[in-house]
Amino acid sequence: MPAPLKFVGLDVGGTTMKAAVVDDAGKPSASVVMDTHPERGQEAGLETMCETIRRAVAAAKLKMADIAAVGVATPGLMDIAAGLILDPPNLKPWKNVPVRDHIAQAFGKPTAFENDANAAAYGEFWVGAGQEATSLVMFTLGTGVGGGIILGDTIVEGEHSHGGELGHLRIDLPDRGRLCGCGARGCLEAYASASAVTARAREELAAWRGPTKLKAYYTANDDELTAKVVFDLALAGDECATKVMDDTAYFLALGACATIAAVDPEMIVIGGGMTAAGEPFRAKIEEYIRRFGLPHPVKKVKVVFAKLGSDAGFIGAAGCARRLLRQQERREEIPVPG
Amino acid sequence: MPAPLKFVGLDVGGTTMKAAVVDDAGKPSASVVMDTHPERGQEAGLETMCETIRRAVAAAKLKMADIAAVGVATPGLMDIAAGLILDPPNLKPWKNVPVRDHIAQAFGKPTAFENDANAAAYGEFWVGAGQEATSLVMFTLGTGVGGGIILGDTIVEGEHSHGGELGHLRIDLPDRGRLCGCGARGCLEAYASASAVTARAREELAAWRGPTKLKAYYTANDDELTAKVVFDLALAGDECATKVMDDTAYFLALGACATIAAVDPEMIVIGGGMTAAGEPFRAKIEEYIRRFGLPHPVKKVKVVFAKLGSDAGFIGAAGCARRLLRQQERREEIPVPG
Positions of E strands within A152-238:
154-155
Query: Which positions in chain A touch B165 (Cβ < 8 Å)?
Result: 261-262, 264, 294
Residue B218 binned pLDDT confidence (cut-offs 50, 70, 90):
confident
* Cβ proximity of A136 and A130 under 8 Å: yes
Q: A265 vs B172: CB contact, 8 Å cut-off?
A: no
Q: What is the pLDDT of residue B3?
A: 74
Average pLDDT of the residues of chain B: 95
* Cβ proximity of A316 and A9 under 8 Å: yes
Q: B159 vs A301: CB contact, 8 Å cut-off?
A: yes
The predicted model gives B284-301 an average pLDDT of: 96
Residues A151, A130: Cα–Cα separation, whole Å: 11
φ, ψ of residue B104 in degrees (nearest 5): -60, -40
Q: B294 vs A265: CB contact, 8 Å cut-off?
A: no
Q: B165 vs A261: CB contact, 8 Å cut-off?
A: yes
Residues A156, A60: Cα–Cα separation, whole Å: 31
Boundaries of CATH 3.30.420.40 in chain A?
Answer: 6-122+311-333, 131-306
pLDDT in tens, B72-106: 999 989 999 999 999 999 999 999 999 999 999 99
Neighbours of B65 (CB within 10 A): 8
* Cβ proximity of A220 and A199 under 8 Å: no
Q: What is the pLDDT of residue A330?
A: 85
φ, ψ of residue B62 in degrees (nearest 5): -120, 175
Q: What is the pLDDT of residue B337?
A: 52
Whether the pLDDT of residue A91 is over 80: the answer is yes
SS3 for A39? helix
Mutate to test the interface with A, among B80, B145, B170 (most CBs of A within 10 A): B170
Whether the pLDDT of residue B10 is over 80: the answer is yes
Whether the pLDDT of residue A283 is over 80: the answer is yes
Q: How many residues belong to chain B?
A: 338
pLDDT in tens, B190-211: 999 999 999 999 999 999 999 9
Residues A157, A148: Cα–Cα separation, whole Å: 8
Residue A336 binned pLDDT confidence (cut-offs 50, 70, 90):
low
Q: Which residues, 6 or more positions from B225, have their beta carbon under 8 angstroms from its beta carbon?
A: B198, B201, B202, B214, B217
Neighbours of B183 (CB within 10 A): 8
Give B156→chain A minimum CA distance, Å. Answer: 6
DSSP 8-class letter at A214: G
Whether the pLDDT of residue A218 is over 90: the answer is no
User: Looking at chain B, which residue has its C-alpha nearest residue A156?
Assistant: B263
Residue B338 binned pLDDT confidence (cut-offs 50, 70, 90):
very low
Positions of E strands within B82-134:
84-85, 111-115
Q: A169 vs B262: CB contact, 8 Å cut-off?
A: yes
Q: Which residues of B275-314 are buried (b: 16+ CB within 10 A; e: fewer)?
A: bebeeebbebbbebbbebbbebbbeebbbbbbbbebbbbb
HSE, CB side, 13 Å, CA atoms: give it for residue B249. 27
Neighbours of A157 (CB within 10 A): 21
Query: Which positions in chain B touch A263 (Cβ < 8 Å)?
Result: 149, 156, 158, 163-164, 262-263
* Cβ proximity of B11 and B321 under 8 Å: no
pLDDT in tens, A134-168: 999 999 999 999 999 999 989 999 999 999 999 99
Closest among A161, A187, A186 to A88, alpha carbons compared: A161
The predicted model gives A315-338 an average pLDDT of: 84
Q: What is the pLDDT of residue A220?
A: 85
Residues B9, B243: Cα–Cα separation, whole Å: 39
Instruction: Calculate what percentage of chain A has a pLDDT beyond 70.
Output: 98
Query: Which positions in chain A touch B266 (Cβ < 8 Å)?
Result: 159
The predicted model gives B236-260 an average pLDDT of: 98
Burial class (CB in 10 A: 0-12, 13-18, 19+), B181: middle
Cis peptide before B93 (omega within 30 of 0): yes
Average pLDDT of the residues of chain A: 95
* Cβ proximity of A254 and A248 under 8 Å: no
* Cβ proximity of A182 and A168 under 8 Å: yes
The predicted model gives A262-286 an average pLDDT of: 97
User: Which residue would you say has higher pLDDT here, B36 or B338?
Assistant: B36
Query: Which positions in chain A touch B79 (Cβ < 8 Å)?
Result: none
Q: B169 vs A261: CB contact, 8 Å cut-off?
A: yes
* Cβ proximity of B205 and B212 under 8 Å: yes
Q: A292 vs B160: CB contact, 8 Å cut-off?
A: no
Whether the pLDDT of residue B336 is over 70: the answer is no
* CATH (residue range B6-122+311-333): 3.30.420.40
Q: State the DSSP H helix or E strand holding residue A35, giving kind and residue range, or none if neither.
A: strand A32-35
Query: Which positions in chain B touch A330 (Cβ < 8 Å)?
Result: 334
Q: What is the pLDDT of residue A1?
A: 56
φ, ψ of residue A192 in degrees (nearest 5): -125, 5
The predicted model gives A271-277 an average pLDDT of: 96
Query: Which positions in chain B touch A257 (Cβ < 8 Å)?
Result: 170
Q: B154 vs A152: CB contact, 8 Å cut-off?
A: yes
Superfamily holding B131-306: ATPase, nucleotide binding domain (3.30.420.40)
Residue B334 binned pLDDT confidence (cut-offs 50, 70, 90):
low
Q: State the DSSP H helix or E strand holding residue A211, giving kind and residue range, or none if neither.
A: none
pLDDT in tens, A40-65: 999 999 999 999 999 999 999 999 99
Q: A160 vs B296: CB contact, 8 Å cut-off?
A: yes
